[in-house]
Structure 1
Amino acid sequence: MGELVSGSQRVLLRTVDVARETGYSVQQVRNLERLGVVPPAARSSNGYRSYTPIHVQALRAYRGLAGAVGAVAARQMLAELRTETIAEAAAAINAVHVRLAREREEALRAQRALRAIQAEANTAEFEQESDAMTITELAGALHVRPSTLRFWEQEGLVTPERVTSLRARRYGLSAIRAARIVVALRGAGYSIPAVREIMGSLHRLDGPGETQHILRQRLDQIATRTVALLRAGADLAAVVTSAQEPDGVCT
Structure 2
Amino acid sequence: MTNHEVRLRPVDLARLSGLSTQQIRNYEDAGVLPPAARTESGYRVFGDVHRRALRTYRALQRGYGPVAATSVMRGVHDGDVPGALALVDAAHASLHEQRVALRATREALESLARPAPAVPARTADLRVGEVAALLGVRTSALRVWESAGLLTPARERGTRYRQYGPADVRDARLIHLLRRSHYLLEQIRPVLEGLRREGSTEALRAAVATRGEALAGRTRAMLAGAGRLAEYLEHIEQAERVEEAEQAELSEEGR
Same fold (TM over 0.5): yes
Tell me, in whole angstroms, the C-alpha distance in 2 between the residues paired with 1:17 and 1:189.
Answer: 50
Measured in 2, the distance between the counterparts of 1:109 and 1:209 equals 16
For the residues of structure 2 that align with 1:127 and 1:181, how far apart are their CA atoms? 15
- Is 1:147 aligned to 2:142, yes or no? no
State how far apart, in whole Å, the 1-side matches of 2:108 and 2:69 are: 33
Q: Is 2:229 aligned against 1:230?
A: no
Is residue 212 from structure 1 mapped to residue 211 from structure 2 by the alignment? no
1:63 aligns with 2:58: yes
- How many residue pairs were aligned? 222
Query: Which residue of the other structure, out of 131, 137, 144, is the alignment partner of 2:141?
Result: 137
Whole-Å separation in 2 of the counterparts to 1:15 and 1:43 = 11
Q: 1:199 aligns with which of 186, 190, 196?
A: 196
Kept in 2, the 8 Å contact 1:135–1:170? The answer is no
Equivalent position to 2:102, from 87, 107, 113: 107
Instruction: Tell me the TM-score normalised to structure 2 length.
Output: 0.68
Worse-superposed segment, 208-217 or 182-191: 182-191
Q: Is the 8 A contact 2:101 2:190 kept in 1?
A: no
On the 8 A contact 2:11/2:21 being kept in 1, the answer is yes
* Residue in 1 that maps onto 2:123: none
1:126–1:52 Cα change, 3 Å: farther
| In structure 1, distance between residues paired with 2:69 and 2:153 | 42
The 8 Å contact of residues 30 and 74 in structure 2, kept in 1 or not, is answered as no
Matching residue of 1:155: none
Bigger mean CA offset, 235-244 vs 10-19 = 235-244
Contact 1:12/1:50 (<8 A) preserved: yes
TM-score normalised by the chain length of structure 1: 0.69
SS at match of 1:125: coil
Paired residues of 1:66 and 1:74 also in contact (CA < 8 A): yes
Greater Cα radius of gyration, structure 1 or 2: 2
SS at match of 2:168: helix
Shift of 1:41: 1.4
- Which deviations, in whole Å up to 9, do the C-alpha atoms of 1:62-117 show, x marking residues without a partner? 223223232222211222234235x665565355344424422331222221231x
Shift of 1:159: 4.5
Contact 1:107 1:188 in 2 (8 A): no
Unaligned runs of 5+ in 1: 153-157
Matched, 1:38 2:33: yes
Extract unaligned runs of 5+ from structure 2. 121-125, 133-137, 244-255
Q: 1:215 to 1:248 in 2, by over 3 A?
A: farther
Who is 1:72 aligned against? 67
Q: Tell me the alpha carbon deviations over residues 222-250 of structure 1, each in whole angstroms, 9 at most, x when there is no partner.
A: 2222222222234312332345443999x
**Which structure ranks higher in relative contact order (CA pairs < 8 Å, sequence separation ≥ 6)?**
1
Cα deviation, residue 126, structure 1: 4.1
